[in-house]
């Protein structure tokens, strides 16, 4: 018998995937630590619950091990009396792990590019509109699009610009992607400048692809217009006030701010290796400050560079300002390894499938989040879920499929071409 074709995703499952990206442009806080985007994340996961039937026994076992690791991560410091569990963050990461697992299993059953096109465009238009409104109505040095933090807005706009180019085919997508990326510049965040070369490379690759597919003269000239308008836009942005603000902040890469961020990452590695228990079990989400106090690690150099960071570390919560270092320190060793294996697997599959746009988006996100903690935000896992949908889209043939299950010669790809058939008849 032949193996049944993969069952297409249901309408509810597709709606769940769409909800995960539809709210990307809405980071407005409802209460502290909870935004409109988190509401979209909850709606998405609720709609995706029927997809749990697609999880294999191995998937369930892996998910249980990861979830248990997340739950036990704060217990070491809690037992020592130097920390306490942040159950809200723990629940967030458990649900994020489930969301990614469901996205991977749904990937072979849905055309993510077409399914997510409309919600991606709506999110991009909403974010660009919000940025424009704030830019016109509030003359301030930099903008946050009403997110809880301007860096949240910067990273969201940065990743969303890639998705716009990936989901659409027409030349007009460059205008929307450019508007979203220009919005990210309004935040005057250094993170956007770090990932700028990867975005420009993705834009050039997409331009080359659609220019090659353009058939009529109108589309060809339109592509030329887009190419020649790029220097004009760059000159305008370079002469703008927001660009001067960004330039001043880029110069601060040599100042105490960058040194403080690097020192926080160094302290994270020192904390991870300071104790066998912390090495294996971590300090729990948000437990970085408690772990430093527990181990009595010196903060002298950090205090000399950034006194404000010392005040934050004396509180209940202080970020490491690095998503990758945070995952390594906060969670058990096996959870951190699973996180690394997931990212490496996604990057490898994207490379093999020549999904250059999403691959460059992932590399850009990994780069900018090395100096910023965004792993505890809804947009980080939304971008990772889209990357999983693109990476795992091609169904994998069963390994135990025998030759007798293969279609006979003369069907499918083995069917003789018309010229071959005519030659056979002439014989």
**How far apart (Å, rounded) are the C-alpha atoms in residues 201 and 221?**
21
Largest Cα span, the chain: 90
Residues of the chain with pLDDT under 70: 1-6, 211-221, 223-224, 226-257, 303-318, 395-427
- Whether 222 is covered by a domain: the verdict is yes
The strand pair at 34-35 and 29-31 is best described as antiparallel
Q: Is 296 helix (H, G, I), strand (E, B) or coil?
A: coil
- Whether 188 is covered by a domain: the verdict is yes
- Whether 72 is covered by a domain: the verdict is no
pTM over 0.75: yes
pLDDT at 244: 59
pLDDT at 410: 36
Q: Are 220 and 269 in contact (CB under 8 A)?
A: no
pLDDT at 5: 52
**Full DSSP string of 255-292:** SHHHHHHHHHHHHHHHHHHH-HHHHHH---TT-HHHHH
Q: Tokens at residue 294, please? A: 């527990």
pLDDT at 427: 44
**How far apart (Å, rounded) are the C-alpha atoms in residues 164 and 387?**
13
- Whether 260 is covered by a domain: the verdict is no
Listed in sequence order, the residues at least 6 apart from 40 whose beta carbon sits closer than 8 Å to its beta carbon are: 19, 20, 22, 23, 26, 378
Q: Tokens at residue 170, please? A: 């027409």
Q: Are 103 and 385 in contact (CB under 8 A)?
A: yes
Number of independent structural domains in the chain:
1
Listed in sequence order, the residues at least 6 apart from 186 whose beta carbon sits closer than 8 Å to its beta carbon are: 131, 134, 135, 142, 143, 242
Q: Tokens at residue 145, please? A: 């699009």
Task: For tokens 């990614």, name the residue.
Answer: 100
Helix axes 150-167, 356-368, angle to 10 degrees: 170
Instruction: Give whole-number Cα distances, 90 to 39, 246, 351, 420, in Å.
Output: 17, 35, 32, 63
pLDDT at 180: 92
pLDDT at 415: 42
Q: Is 198 helix (H, G, I), strand (E, B) or coil?
A: helix
- Whether 115 is covered by a domain: the verdict is yes
Residue 25 sits at the vertex; the CA angle it makes with 349 and 181, to the nearest 5 degrees, is: 70
Q: What are phi and psi of 30, to 5 degrees?
A: -90, -55
Residue 55 sits at the vertex; the CA angle it makes with 325 and 112, to the nearest 5 degrees, is: 75
Q: Which domain holds residue 355?
A: 11-54+86-254+332-391
- Whether 321 is covered by a domain: the verdict is no
- Whether 199 is covered by a domain: the verdict is yes
- Whether 154 is covered by a domain: the verdict is yes
């Amino acid at each position: 018998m032949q193996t049944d074709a993969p069952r297409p995703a249901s309408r509810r499952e597709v709606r769940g995937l769409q909800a995960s990206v539809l709210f990307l442009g809405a980071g407005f806080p409802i209460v502290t630590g909870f935004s409109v985007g988190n509401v979209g994340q909850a709606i998405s996961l609720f709609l995706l619950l029927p997809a749990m039937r697609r999880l294999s026994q191995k998937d369930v076992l892996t998910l249980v091990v990861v979830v248990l690791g997340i739950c036990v991560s704060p217990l070491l410091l809690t037992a020592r009396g130097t920390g306490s569990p942040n159950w809200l963050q723990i629940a967030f990461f458990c649900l994020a792990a489930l969301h990614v697992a469901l996205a991977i299993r749904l990937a072979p059953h849905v055309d993510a590019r077409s399914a997510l096109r409309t919600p991606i465009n709506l999110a991009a238009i909403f974010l660009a509109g919000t940025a424009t409104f704030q830019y016109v109505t509030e003359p301030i040095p930099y903008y946050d699009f009403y997110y809880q933090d301007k860096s949240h807005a910067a990273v969201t706009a940065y990743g969303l610009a890639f998705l716009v180019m990936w989901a659409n085919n027409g030349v007009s997508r460059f205008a929307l992607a450019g508007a979203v990326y220009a919005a990210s510049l309004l935040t005057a965040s250094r993170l956007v400048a770090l990932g700028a070369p990867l975005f420009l490379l993705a834009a050039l690759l997409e331009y080359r692809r659609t220019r090659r597919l353009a058939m009529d003269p109108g589309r060809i000239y339109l592509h030329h217009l887009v190419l020649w308008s790029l220097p004009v836009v760059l000159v305008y942005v370079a002469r703008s006030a927001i660009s001067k603000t960004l330039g001043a902040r880029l110069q601060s890469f040599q100042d105490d701010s960058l040194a403080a961020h690097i020192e926080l990452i160094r302290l994270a590695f020192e904390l991870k290796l300071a104790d066998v228990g912390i090495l294996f079990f971590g300090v729990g989400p948000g437990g970085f400050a408690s772990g430093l106090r527990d181990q009595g690690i010196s903060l002298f150099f950090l205090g000399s560079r950034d006194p404000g960071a010392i005040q934050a570390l004396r509180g209940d919560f202080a970020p490491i300002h690095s998503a990758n270092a945070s995952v390594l320190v906060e969670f058990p060793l096996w959870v951190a390894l699973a996180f690394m294996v997931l990212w490496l697997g996604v990057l490898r599959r994207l490379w093999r499938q020549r999904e250059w746009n999403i691959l460059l988006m992932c590399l850009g996100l990994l780069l900018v989040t090395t100096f910023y903690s965004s792993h505890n935000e809804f947009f980080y896992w939304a971008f990772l879920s889209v990357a999983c949908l693109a990476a795992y889209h091609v169904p994998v043939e069963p390994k135990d499929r025998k030759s007798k299950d293969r279609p006979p010669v003369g069907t499918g790809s083995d069917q003789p071409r018309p010229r071959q058939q005519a030659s056979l008849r002439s014989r």
